[in-house]
């Protein structure tokens, strides 16, 4: 059985070898501790440091890098699936009422005055686009206060989600162009933008629910780190 000092040494060893995420460190330290204990049990003369060195060599010349990369891919896939499950859940009754209300409301407003589309689109895009920067700021504050950084809380891959709406200003250029005006008739633009903006708002809601759920799980699983900022 390793001592507390040896366990602490393993955490520092992981950090010095490029593993900065606390959730990955916990998993790796548990593996290292078990492997070191086996080595020391098989060879009573071997020191803790020598046993650790032997275990570390078993990871290959890249050390812990492959493990971290594999963990990143796994968590990214896990969080992406989590987001899409929450997103799809927004279209189950009675939650889908919100989508229907948004779509009908926008369609009505845009039908009254089609020029409402551009400010509505800009407002939704700007509001939604603030989500990732705000969350990333929260992570920086969290790391600064606690000293802990979690791979599972890093949802920066979702920042690509905000890129797609940036493609749509081309619609406005088409619509306001004298030459291409007739290429974007009202009966396509109005319902199309009503549905798109409603979907985008639903996506923002799903994203924030994802962030909230992920943080809630981490509060439960890593209470030691989160207790510092409560």
Averages of pLDDT over runs of 10 residues in the chain (230 residues) are 85 86 85 89 86 85 80 82 87 90 87 76 71 71 74 66 54 48 60 83 83 76 59
Residue 101 confidence (pLDDT): 92
Residue 82 confidence (pLDDT): 83
For the chain, which residues make up each domain, given as ranges? 4-63, 76-229
Give residue 189's Cα distance to chain centre: 32
pTM of the full structure: 0.69
* CB of 146 closer than 8 Å to CB of 228: yes
Residue 180 confidence (pLDDT): 38
d(CA 25, CA 41): 24
Residue 205 confidence (pLDDT): 84
Q: Tens digits of per-residue pLDDT, 67-119?
A: 888 888 888 888 788 888 988 898 988 888 999 999 998 888 888 877 777 77
* Residue located via tokens 């890098």: 65
Residue 179 confidence (pLDDT): 42
């Amino acid at each position: 059985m390793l001592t507390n000092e040896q366990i602490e040494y393993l955490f520092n060893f992981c950090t010095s070898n490029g593993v900065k995420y606390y959730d990955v460190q916990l998993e790796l330290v548990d593996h290292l501790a078990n492997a070191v204990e086996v080595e020391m049990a098989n060879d009573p003369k071997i020191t803790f440091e020598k046993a650790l060195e032997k275990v570390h060599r078993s990871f290959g010349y890249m050390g812990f890098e492959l493990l971290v990369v594999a963990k990143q891919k796994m968590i990214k896939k896990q969080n992406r699936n989590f987001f899409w499950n929450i997103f799809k859940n927004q279209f189950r009754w009675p939650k889908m009422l919100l989508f229907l209300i948004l779509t009908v409301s926008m369609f009505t407003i845009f039908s009254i005055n089609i020029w409402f589309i551009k400010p509505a689109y800009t407002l939704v895009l700007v509001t939604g686009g603030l989500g990732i920067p705000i969350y990333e700021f929260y992570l920086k504050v969290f790391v600064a206060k606690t000293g802990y950084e979690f791979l599972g809380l890093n949802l920066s891959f979702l920042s690509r989600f905000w890129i797609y709406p940036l493609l749509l200003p081309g619609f406005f250029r088409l619509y306001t162009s004298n030459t291409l005006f007739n290429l974007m008739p009202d009966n396509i633009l109005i319902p199309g933008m009503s549905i798109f903006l409603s979907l985008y708002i639903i996506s923002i809601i799903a994203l924030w629910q994802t962030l909230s759920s992920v943080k809630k799980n981490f509060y439960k699983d890593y209470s030691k780190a989160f207790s510092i900022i409560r």
